[in-house]
Structure 1
Amino acid sequence: MKNYNRAVLGTGVIANETAATLQKNGRNLFAVGNRTHGKAVAFAEKYNVGKVYDSYDEMFTDPDVDIIYITTPHNTHYGFMKKAILNKKHILVEKSITLNSDELGELITLAEQNNVIIGEAMTVYHMPIYKKLNEILKSGTLGRVNLITMNFGSFKEYDMKNRFFNRSLAGGAMLDIGVYALSVIRWFFDSKPDNILSQLKTAPTGVDEQASLLLSDKEGQMATVMLSLHSKQPKRAMISCENGYIEIMEYPRAWEAKITYTDGRTELVSTGENSDALYYEITDMEKAVNGDKNVMCLDYTADVMKIMTRFRQEHGIIYPEEE
């Protein structure tokens, strides 16, 4: 496989994890860009990155860059993605990939017209444990998937200026943590959930602080989702089947799951490394650029975005960019 030149946009937590993960696997980022030039310089020195851009635009027009990883806040993704696509750059984008389905649909069409790959950095679609569990389910051992129960809760202090609650930064539980829960559901469901009921509690800023959803698909599979940004919960997924159930703890970066069969037997399934989560995303993105487009699961990303967009529309949650 070709050794692609990768650039990262932003120098936050994910960008640092990406650079460190690549170094761990004997590779380096080719370039970095950030709104604050000094931060980009410090980042480059820390991770031995060869090129630092004075402005974002230089990254998009650099002929030596093959893939750009966009790690900036949700509300900046659409603009950066469009620039990258128009400059024929493949892009891996931090979740949530866009604010809404209209943005994503437009960019997918634009990417097809420009023959570039776009993918969401959704750990669920790339960690080995989820792929292994899919193989087990397809074998028929556990029978049909009937129910999925998802919990994800973090206790965030009521600082309305931070990105979790800040409407101007596209804050809220759905785009920040709900996207993980819905991606797990879409991964194990036979088709996109088309029947959705929901309720929420809003933060003082008007974004979704707490949410619950009931979902079902045309095959009759059902799921529940409980989300909170101000109440700690276990990050737990339970996939209930005819012949047993699967428990996944600490998703999305899970590395093991426990299967409990109806006769009481248990089995521990373990594969992959938590610390390599970002590397799995990066290598799958390179496979997609190399021709295996389906590995990025962009159709699942679009299905999840439709659910999140519908949820926000039904509850009147609108970000400034959407007004």
Structure 2
Amino acid sequence: MDAQTTGNAAPLDAAAAAKAAFAAVVGKPFPKDVFTAPELSWAVIGCGVIANQMAQSLALAGRKVYGIVNRTRSKAEAFAREYGVERVYDSVEELYADPAVDAVYITTPHNTHIDYLCGALAAGKHVLCEKAITLNSAELEEARAIADEHGVVLMDATTVLHMPLYVELMRRAEAGEFGRLRLAQVNFGSWHSYDDLSNRFWNRSLAGGAMLDIGVYALSVARLFMESQPTEVVSLANVFKTGVDEESGFVTRNAEGQIGVFSLTMHAKQPKRATLCFDDCYIEIMSYPRADRATITWTADGHREEVSAGIEAYALCYEIADLEKAVAGDGSKRELIGYASDVMDIMTRLRRDWGVVYPEEESAE
């Protein structure tokens, strides 16, 4: 039974899906092939939903977060008690100065990322940052330059970049098994109520909107299988009254003629479906942000092949593992930031076309 669905029920929301995925692996041995690089000591900035999921994921592997800092210390202390965290910091500066910390995981709202990125990277910490990694391309270029200057790894935590399923499918694609990619069609529909327009989904001051919240997943799936970054983009979008993008449709094309077709919405459910169309087959991936299964339909005879790799519940462990592998010298993991930069370029261009500008971007002009 799919962890995302029960019978004919509608897909679960992200939090409920993660809870169901964790429940499916409770009591099972943790895979030995996930953490293969030397273990780093991790501290987390922020203790919201995704930080809790990360701590729960590490617990499945018998690991713990070393340190935590949060704007409200009492929340950080509660987080530390729940997950056995050794250090609670009074400030991010105290965290940056702690020589026991090797790597930092940033889980705060999008618009705060660049400040924490700059501080942590300049302090010589490796950084895994939640999506969207920055607000725009200029911020990401700045962060990458600081990482290069200080010889540390910067990694985007968008799950698509780290799931073993995509590693396996990319391996087969690069080996020529599927032929050339012709077209990628990717959908993502979330439903968020209008009852509270101050929440992060609708709030311009919290860098809300569909593009940075869910568009990053859709674009990342397509970009992984394209030969180069798309250079042409055409789009339509509806901008919500709060100034953020509510829904959009857009098409991209790169120099090789590979086309991506995308649809996003923040106020209507639609399947999280990615369809990758190659010369010799098409690949369907449902619930693709943390997918561990895909179906290949072969053009020649129509037969279907099921592919499985990884386990949904360990999605955040794969992120931690990939940064540790990059620190240990794995070039393929170090290259992931290049895909993230290509995706950020497209998101920045689209928001500019739509007139979706965040306060931090206005003040930077």
Report the counterpart of residue 253 of structure 1 in structure 2.
290
Kindly indicate whether the alpha-carbon contact (under 8 Å) linking 2:239 and 2:356 is maintained by their aligned counterparts in 1: no
Runs of 4+ deviating beyond 4 Å: none
Deviation track 1:114-135 (CA, whole Å, cap 9, x = no partner) reads 1111111021111010111112
- 1:111 pairs, out of 121, 127, 147, with 147
Deviation track 1:254-276 (CA, whole Å, cap 9, x = no partner) reads 00000111211011001110000
Report the counterpart of residue 175 of structure 1 in structure 2.
212
Q: TM-score, normalised by structure 1?
A: 0.98
Report the counterpart of residue 201 of structure 1 in structure 2.
238
Report the counterpart of residue 51 of structure 1 in structure 2.
87
- Which ranges of structure 1 fall in alignment gaps of 5 or more residues? none
106-115 or 146-155: which moved more? Answer: 106-115
Which residue identity is paired with 1:306?
Answer: D
Report the counterpart of residue 317 of structure 1 in structure 2.
356
**Separation in 1, partners of 2:207, 2:62:** 35
**Separation in 2, partners of 1:33, 1:49:** 11
Q: TM-score, normalised by structure 2?
A: 0.87
| 1:282 correspondence with 2:320 | yes
Report the counterpart of residue 186 of structure 1 in structure 2.
223
| 1:17 correspondence with 2:56 | no
Which residue identity is paired with 1:315?
Answer: W
**Separation in 2, partners of 1:175, 1:94:** 11
1:138-287 pair list within 5 angstroms:
138-158=174-194, 159-262=196-299, 263-287=301-325
Report the counterpart of residue 30 of structure 1 in structure 2.
66
Kindly indicate whether the alpha-carbon contact (under 8 Å) linking 1:35 and 1:56 is maintained by their aligned counterparts in 2: no
**Separation in 1, partners of 2:65, 2:238:** 41
- Which ranges of structure 2 fall in alignment gaps of 5 or more residues? 1-36
**Separation in 1, partners of 2:331, 2:142:** 18
- 1:64 pairs, out of 100, 110, 116, with 100
**Separation in 2, partners of 1:161, 1:293:** 41
Kindly indicate whether the alpha-carbon contact (under 8 Å) linking 1:117 and 1:293 is maintained by their aligned counterparts in 2: no
**Separation in 2, partners of 1:189, 1:7:** 34
Which residue identity is paired with 1:11?
Answer: C
Deviation at 1:111, TM superposition (A): 1.1
Which residue identity is paired with 2:354?
Answer: H
Question: Percent identity among equivalent residues?
Answer: 50
**Separation in 1, partners of 2:179, 2:351:** 34
**Separation in 1, partners of 2:70, 2:175:** 46
| 1:308 correspondence with 2:347 | yes
Which residue identity is paired with 1:320?
Answer: P
Which residue identity is paired with 1:247?
Answer: E
**Separation in 1, partners of 2:73, 2:52:** 16
**Separation in 1, partners of 2:178, 2:111:** 41
- 1:292 pairs, out of 330, 334, 355, with 330
With over 3 angstroms needed to count, the CA separation of the structure-2 counterparts of 1:293 and 1:88, relative to structure 1, is farther
Kindly indicate whether the alpha-carbon contact (under 8 Å) linking 1:14 and 1:71 is maintained by their aligned counterparts in 2: yes
**Separation in 2, partners of 1:86, 1:96:** 20
**Separation in 2, partners of 1:151, 1:312:** 18
Question: What root-mean-square deviation, in Å, do the aligned CA atoms of Structure 1 and Structure 2 show?
Answer: 1.0
Which residue identity is paired with 1:321?
Answer: E
**Separation in 1, partners of 2:147, 2:39:** 22
With over 3 angstroms needed to count, the CA separation of the structure-2 counterparts of 1:46 and 1:18, relative to structure 1, is same
Deviation at 1:54, TM superposition (A): 1.5
Deviation track 1:160-219 (CA, whole Å, cap 9, x = no partner) reads 111001000000100000000000111010100001001100111010000111011100
**Separation in 2, partners of 1:86, 1:135:** 34
**Separation in 1, partners of 2:280, 2:74:** 57
